[in-house]
Structure 1
Amino acid sequence: MSVTTGPRTGRRPLGVLRAFSIAVAGAGLMFASACSTAGDSDSAAGSAGTVEVFAAASLNNAGDELAEAFAEDNDGAELEFNFAGSSKLVQQIGQGADADVFISADEENMDAAHDLPEFDGAEPETIATNRLVLATSPGNPAGFDSVDDLSTTADFRLAVCADGVPCGTLANDYLDEREDDGHGLGPSTVSEEANVSDVSTKLATGEADVGFIYSTDAKALQENSTDGEVEVFDLDGVEPNKYPAVLTTAGEDNDDAAAFLEWLTSVRARAILESYGFGAA
């Protein structure tokens, strides 16, 4: 996802002067070129850059609008998004992937990022919150009326994020607590997905009857469903998860990356995030 700007104008090299007879003309050409180069340099200093943003998969829906708004507010600066589960993003950065900004869907994976040299001296800032919910596929084919149906409904298909991914950690903790209280899962087929976007896809396509996703993803499912209503159930005892954002050491040397991190706390950025269902920081 990106907003693409045109290529920067580069410097135009002077031709080699080979004859003394054109030395005067050559001097004039050099003067004109020097003026042109100075102008190009000033233009380049204020022109658009590129920011490599490694962002939690749940931000995928808002990515295009964030990129377009940031470009409008920052002279066409370009955002290149890489969306994945937060734990996967930490792994990618630790293996050498180029990233300027990292946005996690929880504080646990941000803490893991702090152990990497790529985040030496990093100071994350929370930009939004989200909350885990249980959602049905369009039309609610399994007939879920409440979260309690997880224990009583027969032969339903449940999709969850893999443990370690923020949405998976939250879901598994919630299910463990229910089991400890004597409300384990009823007969079900459980599929583990790489990130919350994959769980949402399972629900949207009817490959799962219910799934644990974020309220932002549930909102998108409800708005895009053409096959019936998507039921959404709140989860008692599950606190909203915070979305911390931070510059990598490479991002600290990228003025546009620093500008993006600051811009994420602006009124415009927060309004966009809230329109997709994210809570305030």
Structure 2
Amino acid sequence: MKQGFRFILSIPVLLVAVFLLAGCLSSDSGSGSDRDSGTAHVFAAASLGTVGEHLAETFAEDHPDAEIVFNFAGSAALVRQLGEGAPADLFISADGATMDKALALEEFTSSEVEVIATNRLVLATADGNPAQIRELADTTDHLIAICAPEVPCGALATTALEHAGVDLATSSEEANVNDVTTKIATGAVDAGFIYSTDAQALGSTRDITVIELDGTPPNDYPAALTTRGRDNDVAVAFAEFLTSESAQGILAGYGFGTD
């Protein structure tokens, strides 16, 4: 009987031990990168499309249970989507003026902004430069692709043209810098206004001429979490990652300016 009595008492003792062990494991899983599990929806300027996948892959090395889903488009178009209720956790614009418009939305109440990189607008020619464009003044008699004026790359191009006193006789207005880059790459235009990062990527496969634009300041890439993003551990972690030495090194490798 004594032996049986000891066996009966050991059952609740064993259960308590199991629960205590489970609690310890649960506590450990809440620390480190394991807490960053889930998905973050990142609305990012089209010009970040060249580097986005690399950034997400590097972030995943320390956050294997996290997923970054990008929505790349012109910054102005992204603000319109946000204003219409599109779900986003983090917004990265291609200039400060467009970010200011986003910050006026309810989705960004009390949001803080962090500049993660800079870029510079350039004029890039079609493969082989068949129109023999050597400076901005040479664009007057050729077909030039330019972003819509409400898009950061379009606003910068307009500034550059005004500074040089140049009027385009014929132009192809595009929704974002990716569309301009495509027009250049396919030879549909003689040249186009794109960012230096896009020119760097395009120059790896084509013989393009890149013309610097005097009087055109570099543009910032400010990032801000939305109200829902601030409650998303993955979004918060990714926003922090973008300013890390690792992420800044990746951005620099793609031609972006960093601090």
Task: Name the TM-score class by shorter chain.
Answer: 0.7 to 0.9
In 2, are the aligned partners of 1:100 and 1:254 still within 8 Å (CA)? yes
- Structure 1 CA distance for aligned equivalents of residues 102 and 36 of structure 2: 31
**Structure 2, unpaired ranges of 5+:** 1-10
Partner of 2:7 in structure 1? none
Cα shift readout 1:179-238 (whole Å, capped 9, x = no counterpart): 3xxx433xx42111010000000000111110000000000110122xxx1000000000
| AA at the equivalent of 2:230 | E
In the TM superposition, 1:110-189 aligns within 5 A as: 110-151=99-140, 154=141, 156-179=142-165, 183-185=166-168, 188-189=169-170
1:192 matched to 2:173? yes
Match of 2:192 among 186, 205, 211: 211
SS at match of 2:208: coil
In 1, are the aligned partners of 2:119 and 2:257 still within 8 Å (CA)? yes
- Structure 1 CA distance for aligned equivalents of residues 22 and 150 of structure 2: 52
After TM superposition, the structure 1 stretch with the greater mean CA deviation from structure 2, 166-175 or 56-65, is 166-175
Per the TM alignment, residue 40 of structure 1 is displaced from its structure 2 partner at its CA by 7.4
TM-score by length of 1: 0.80
SS at match of 1:62: helix
Partner of 2:226 in structure 1? 248
| AA at the equivalent of 1:219 | Q
Per the TM alignment, residue 86 of structure 1 is displaced from its structure 2 partner at its CA by 0.6
Cα shift readout 1:90-112 (whole Å, capped 9, x = no counterpart): 11011000100000000000000
TM-score by length of 2: 0.87
- Structure 2 CA distance for aligned equivalents of residues 157 and 204 of structure 1: 14
Per the TM alignment, residue 73 of structure 1 is displaced from its structure 2 partner at its CA by 2.2
Distance 1:40 1:240, change over 3 A: same
| AA at the equivalent of 2:76 | S
- Structure 1 CA distance for aligned equivalents of residues 176 and 22 of structure 2: 48
**Alignment RMSD (CA, Å):** 2.2
Q: Which of the pair is proportionally richer in helix? A: 2
In 2, are the aligned partners of 1:178 and 1:184 still within 8 Å (CA)? no
**Structure 1, unpaired ranges of 5+:** 1-26
- Structure 2 CA distance for aligned equivalents of residues 223 and 176 of structure 1: 30
| AA at the equivalent of 1:167 | C
- Structure 1 CA distance for aligned equivalents of residues 22 and 176 of structure 2: 48
- Structure 2 CA distance for aligned equivalents of residues 41 and 204 of structure 1: 53
In 2, are the aligned partners of 1:47 and 1:76 still within 8 Å (CA)? yes
Partner of 2:253 in structure 1? 275
| AA at the equivalent of 2:63 | N
Match of 1:77 among 66, 80, 84: 66
Per the TM alignment, residue 37 of structure 1 is displaced from its structure 2 partner at its CA by 8.2
Q: How many residue pairs end up in the alignment?
A: 242
Per the TM alignment, residue 75 of structure 1 is displaced from its structure 2 partner at its CA by 3.3
